[in-house]
Structure 1
Amino acid sequence: MSALPVFVDVDTGVDDAMALVYLFASEEAEVVGIASSAGNVAVQQVCQNNLALLDLCSVDVPVSKGSASPLTAPLRTAEDTHGPEGMGYAQLPATARGLTEYDAAQAWVRAAQEHPGELIGVATGPLTNLALALRSEPALPRLLRRLVIMGGAFDYRGNTTPVAEWNISVDPEAAAEVFEAWGSGTASGLPIVLGLNLTENIAMMPELMGRLAAEAGSSTRPMSAQDPRGTRSSASNPLIAVLEDAMRFYFEYHFAHNEGYLAHLHDPLAAAVALDPDLVECRRTTVDVELTGTLTRGMTIADWSNLWAREPNALVGVDVDPAAFFDRFIARVGAFAKSSLGEQA
């Protein structure tokens, strides 16, 4: 079976990087484009992270620069969560790769037009680029085969405000435009939306990182909450070393916020579901985004009881098997690291 064309919009970002590596490691996926979104860090840093990851993984994919700011609000970034360059403690190699001459919104449209009815879109950052793409090509919902969005929190607490999730909160207007576009009844299929209520079940822990290193055939020192902050990876495999250094910062952030020495892999779950929607159970509903509430701006609301009497515009993830996800993630990324990068000399 031929590989599925996949277009990814990311604000890389520790877990975005893990999602990209998962897609590179999946034989059924052909990543045909990467859109860089301002979010976890500024858009130029996101571009550099994406280009450097391609070098590290020896993969060739066009990378396009997205909007430097949300549609209307000033940009907020999350260096406290992802590190000053977005990759935790990891130091990515310098790269001479360049960006496309066209921007990320154009990249969305080009990819959809080149693969009509076949393209799978994955959005793991703010939805600014996708909203701009929809403004230039309103037929985009009909052109995509599938869209997976990591964003929102449904009947669940937020991680940016008490009710709002990060990606939606950074650009609520863009998210509202995207959900509206898929609510017209003309889309080829409803987007799969994975909120915090689902993705926080996907908790990466030191023992799982140890399994990943073993799968890659890499020697490494086990990660522990007792390690001094900023301890660098001893992994012999260069990709595993980068992932461990990135994840350690993420672990420390969650530990400092009393969530345990772990990290939620929000974005890799979206990547996995893009290739296999059966990994999650979803409910069909209508989703909208609060734009004006003093306390609730950026909140995602699902009309489970159809009180709005509007067309459904989303399949909201409500259940997932974390063990099944991690078995697949570790097998794929471990084999990819082993075969593509091997041991350092």
Structure 2
Amino acid sequence: MPEPVSLLLDCDTGIDDALALAYLCSQPHVELVAVSCTPGNVDADQVARNNLALLELSGRPEVPVAIGARAPLEIPLVTTPETHGPQGIGYAELPEPQGNVHPGDAVELWIEAARARPGELTALLTAPLTNFALALRAEPRLPELLRGVVIMGGSYYYQGNTTPTAEWNTHVDPHAAAEVFAAFSGLPGEKLPVVCALETTERIEMRPEHVEALAREAGCTAPEPVLPGQPKGQRSTASNPLVRHLSDMLRFYFEFHRDYDQGYIAHIHDYFAAAVAAGTVRYGTRTATVHVETAASRLFGTTVADYRGLWGEAPNARIVSGNHPAEAFDELIRSLGTLARTVAGPERAGRG
């Protein structure tokens, strides 16, 4: 069992964010202190509804969900209905959440938690870095107060997924990303954020057989195949609620990747970052100084890493340089399958 981890999660849910959140709920050693909502894949209110519903489905209704920023720091918000669907969750139709959004501001909630538990909390950021940048403005000591930081974002000497050079999260709010990396400049190596960028998250390539394996692990006796030849929008028939909803999300994501000539796959970036934060996957890192471009129009949102110290500036990140996809999928399927059986109850878990 990994050592206990207490997380502050900031997300813009999003299909891969949803998978990451469900995965974290499957980990008994992970305490979800709060989930904050940043606009990105969808607007902040929709992010909050998705998070509330997913936490309830995953057996963690007590986790507070709070909204912070409602737009990037300096530019208009651009969302991704073509990638994640108009509600951010593909074809899934989640139950209406019974709980309510936390009445306080997410940024204030994070700062209060970090001050109350110095050195204990890890920040996991799978969204544009807007909320975290605002938190750093309000509490510049946050890098020292937090135990660690894990960021999903950026693309380093690797093709972008939004422009030829820029990754989505960073492109949505590059000004916030630039402020975040600047805040960590010169800190000790163990305090630098661990950055999960496209060159390693795109190696976590989910395929239909992974969904089928998850359904079997969850106890579905006859899981429906998720195949490229099926009509668009076909819904899952799995009786297990969590498997059904995740399958309906992922089917949309598979179709999106196929429509953009990447194959019938899904890059589940945020799951990998969540597993890094939870301490359940192996990975290597390289220390670097990160620059985020906020001026040049064609390079807007591009992230550049100086691994060799050529700029003569202090490092501000540890960029993941290697990971193990097969092990990561074994971990995901085992853990999510166990969670799905648990939250479904014995009377529903065994019917496919």
TM-score under structure 1 length normalisation: 0.97
Question: In the alignment, what sits opposite 1:196?
Answer: 198
Superposed counterparts of 1:218-233, under 5 Å: 218=220, 219-233=222-236
CA distance in 2, matches of 1:187, 1:44: 36
- Structure 1 position 107, deviation (Å): 2.0
CA deviations 1:177-232 (Å, max 9, x no partner) are: 00000114268611000111110000000001111111110242110000100000
Superposed counterparts of 1:1-345, under 5 Å: 3-59=4-60, 60-185=62-187, 189-218=191-220, 219-276=222-279, 279-342=282-345, 343=348
Which shows bigger deviation, 99-108 or 289-298?
99-108
Which shows bigger deviation, 326-335 or 1-10?
1-10
SS in 2 for 1:207: helix
C-alpha distance 7-315 of structure 1, shift in aligned 2 (>3 A): same
Equivalent AA in structure 2 for residue 318 of structure 1: S
Alpha carbons 1:6, 1:120 under 8 Å: kept: yes
Alpha carbons 2:10, 2:38 under 8 Å: kept: yes
CA distance in 2, matches of 1:168, 1:112: 24
CA distance in 2, matches of 1:115, 1:51: 24
CA distance in 2, matches of 1:268, 1:188: 22
Alpha carbons 2:275, 2:281 under 8 Å: kept: no
CA deviations 1:116-171 (Å, max 9, x no partner) are: 10101100000000000000000000011111000000110111111000000000
CA distance in 2, matches of 1:333, 1:292: 42
CA distance in 2, matches of 1:208, 1:186: 39
CA distance in 2, matches of 1:78, 1:54: 22
RMSD after superposition: 1.4
- Structure 1 position 3, deviation (Å): 3.1
Q: Which runs of 4+ in 1 moved over 4 A?
A: none
- Structure 1 position 278, deviation (Å): 5.9
CA deviations 1:276-329 (Å, max 9, x no partner) are: 276211101111101101210100000011111111110001111100101111
- Structure 1 position 111, deviation (Å): 2.1
C-alpha distance 187-321 of structure 1, shift in aligned 2 (>3 A): closer
- Structure 1 position 95, deviation (Å): 1.6
- Structure 1 position 275, deviation (Å): 1.6
Alpha carbons 2:22, 2:55 under 8 Å: kept: no
Which structure 1 segments of 5+ residues have no match?
A: none
Equivalent AA in structure 1 for residue 265 of structure 2: L
C-alpha distance 277-112 of structure 1, shift in aligned 2 (>3 A): farther
Alpha carbons 1:124, 1:149 under 8 Å: kept: yes
Alpha carbons 1:285, 1:316 under 8 Å: kept: yes
Alpha carbons 2:57, 2:343 under 8 Å: kept: no
Equivalent AA in structure 1 for residue 123 of structure 2: G
Alpha carbons 1:6, 1:31 under 8 Å: kept: yes
Alpha carbons 1:142, 1:188 under 8 Å: kept: no
- Structure 1 position 11, deviation (Å): 0.1
CA distance in 2, matches of 1:296, 1:177: 17
CA distance in 2, matches of 1:169, 1:85: 20
Equivalent AA in structure 2 for residue 43 of structure 1: A
Alpha carbons 2:55, 2:63 under 8 Å: kept: yes
C-alpha distance 2-155 of structure 1, shift in aligned 2 (>3 A): closer
CA distance in 2, matches of 1:4, 1:294: 40
Equivalent AA in structure 1 for residue 57 of structure 2: L
Alpha carbons 1:5, 1:115 under 8 Å: kept: no
SS in 1 for 2:191: coil
Alignment: residue pair count: 345
Which shows bigger deviation, 199-208 or 187-196?
187-196
Which structure 2 segments of 5+ residues have no match?
A: none
